[in-house]
Amino acid sequence: MKVLEEKILVEGRALNENVLKVDSFINHKVDPKLMHEIGKEFAEHFKDQGITKIVTIESSGIAPALMTAYEMNVPMVILKKQPSKVLNDDLYQTLVSSFTKGTSYELTLSSHQISEADHVLIIDDFLANGEAATGALRLLRKAHATTAGVGALIEKSFQPGREKLEAQGVHVYSLARISRLGKGVIEFVQE
C-alpha cells in the first residue's frame, strides 16, 4: 500500500535492525484518514470471504481493525492482554511472548464473543515473529471459529512470522513489507 509505505518513510523511525517506531501515526498518535484507507484496503482484499467478525489484540491494532470492521459491516472483537474484573468467566486464554517488549502476557477472549459459526479476520499492526497472530489463532481455534486470514499493516519480512502463519495454512496479507531495517534505514520488499 503505497500511502502507508510513504508515511513510514516520512514519519517512521528505524532505531536499529529490529525496531521501527511508528508512534506518530499508528500506535500512539493515530492518523484517522490513514486508518480509514487501511480499513478499505483490507475490506477490499478480503471481500466475498464470508467474514463475520474482525479480531485484533489490544491496543495498537484497534484503530485499523475498527476501520476494517466498519468497511465490512461486521463487529470487531478485541482480545485482551490485561486482566479484567468483569471479564472473568467462560474465557479462552493463551500465553503469548512479545518480541517488542521481551515479555509474555496472557491473551484472553470471552467465549460469548466468538462462536463456531464465525469466520474471522485477524488484524494487527505488526507481523514480525508471528507470536501475537499465532496466539490469536489458538484462541479462535478454542472457540471452534474459522479464520479467513491475518491482515498486517507492517510486516518485517526478514523475521519468520509470515512463514510460521503460512505453515499453519493461514493466508497473510501485509500492506507494507519491510525487507531491511537499520539505524535510519527502511527498505521495502520489491513486489
Amino acid 41: pLDDT: 98
156 is in an annotated binding site: yes
Residue 52: the pLDDT is: 98
Please give the pLDDT value at position 85. 64
CA distance 32 to 26: 9
Q: Which domains does the chain have, with CATH numbers?
A: 31-176 (3.40.50.2020)
Q: What is the pLDDT of residue 88?
A: 66
Torsion on CA atoms 46, 3, 163, 47, rounded to nearest 10: 0
Q: What pLDDT is recorded for position 86?
A: 66
Q: What is the pLDDT of residue 178?
A: 98
Distances (CA, A) of 103 to 39, 60, 76, 98, 99: 29, 17, 26, 5, 7
Residue 38: predicted pLDDT: 98
Q: Is 131 known as a binding-site position?
A: yes
Is 18 flagged in the annotation as binding?
Answer: no
Taking the model in full, what pTM does it have?
A: 0.94
pLDDT at position 51, please?
98
Q: Which residues of the chain have pLDDT under 50?
A: none
User: According to the annotation, is 136 in a ligand binding site?
Assistant: no
Residue 61, marked binder: no
Task: Give the pLDDT score at 29.
Answer: 96
132 is in an annotated binding site: yes
- pLDDT of 134 reads 97
* pLDDT (0 to 100) of residue 146: 98
